[in-house]
Amino acid sequence: MQCNCCHAAVAEGVAKCPACGFPVLVAGDSSPEYTKMLEDFRSRKRAQIIIEMQIYSYEVSGSGVTESGTSWHTVGTAAALKPGEILWSDLECEPLTSDRSFTVRLRIQNGGMPREQAVTFSPDHAVSRSCIGLSGDDAFTFRLAVGSKDDYILSDAVRMLS
């Protein structure tokens, strides 16, 4: 079975979806009441979701450049994402070259245990300016975008929930 709300796989006989908490009904119907309940639940859940990226800071000293720590920066919120649109953040990374893969670490706050996930890109072409953005996929998935408005690369789809 599949959750009607977030499309996670759900075992038979379970009352609530383990990923999003939506009640698992034997059959979701397409009545206006059911559709409204589903939409309300999705928007309440999406309102809790914040997508963050791990940023490394460096220190330059006499002996060279050393990593001085990491911190999490917000890339965007689920509530602001629309399918097929890219929401650009003020974060940037180094320009991408097509001969090297590139990994970023994301943390997704979703009202429960934060979820961490590494996202790796293998760019098919070089990208000279590398802003970080989020592309809405469906209600609970997104893709990370790296590049600029006119030229960017998208990651594989990332789930917001567990």
Contact 129, 148 (CB under 8 A): yes
Q: Interface with Zn ion includes 86 (CB under 5 A)?
A: no
Q: Which two tokens stand for residue 16?
A: 């609530």
Q: Which of 1, 9, 14, 20 binds Zn ion (CB under 5 A)?
A: 20
Stretch that binds Zn ion, among 21-29, 43-51, 69-77, 88-96 (CB under 5 A): 21-29
Stretch that binds Zn ion, among 22-30, 60-68, 82-90, 146-154 (CB under 5 A): 22-30
Residue whose CB is less far from Zn ion, 1 or 126 = 1
Contact 75, 90 (CB under 8 A): no
- Distance in angstroms (rounded) separating the CA atoms of residues 5 and 22: 7
Q: Interface with Zn ion includes 19 (CB under 5 A)?
A: yes
Give the N- to C-terminal CA distance of the chain in Å, as an integer: 17
Widest pairwise Cα distance in the chain: 69
Contact 127, 155 (CB under 8 A): no
CB of 140 to Zn ion, least distance (A): 8
Q: Which of 14, 17, 93, 118 binds Zn ion (CB under 5 A)?
A: 17
Stretch that binds Zn ion, among 15-23, 27-35, 78-86, 118-126 (CB under 5 A): 15-23
Judged by CB under 5 A, the number of residues near Zn ion is 8
Residue whose CB is less far from Zn ion, 10 or 132 = 10
Contact 2, 10 (CB under 8 A): yes
Q: Interface with Zn ion includes 160 (CB under 5 A)?
A: no
CA 56 to chain centre: 19
Q: Which of 1, 2, 8, 24 binds Zn ion (CB under 5 A)?
A: 8
Residue of 35, 15, 39, 33 whose CA lies nearest to 25: 15
Residues that bind Zn ion (CB under 5 A): 3, 5-6, 8, 17, 19-20, 22
